[in-house]
Amino acid sequence: MYTDGLVERRDEDIDVSLERLAALRLPAEGELDDLLDAVLHALAPTGPSAPGAEDDIAVLAARPRPRPEGAPLRGALR
């Protein structure tokens, strides 16, 4: 998940920005911190005077873990 500050740029069509995001090839393995760093490095404007850097950026990454066999579902609807 991400906020619009990651992809929106002044004077750039949003489709161009979204294509840049879609073109990223990120590893499925490894640390989430490294994955988030790679996303920010590839997409976020750098420096306070970077063109189009006008919005805050938030990025959230999660990796589901398999549930051990026989473990109860927590919070499941019954």
Looking at residues 12-19, what average pLDDT do you find? 89
Residue of higher predicted confidence among 45 and 36 = 36
Question: CA triplet 3, 4, 8: central angle to 5 degrees?
Answer: 150
The structure's pTM equals 0.66
**Helix ranges, 3-65 (H):** 14-22, 32-43
Instruction: Specify which residues 59 forms β-bridges with.
Output: 2
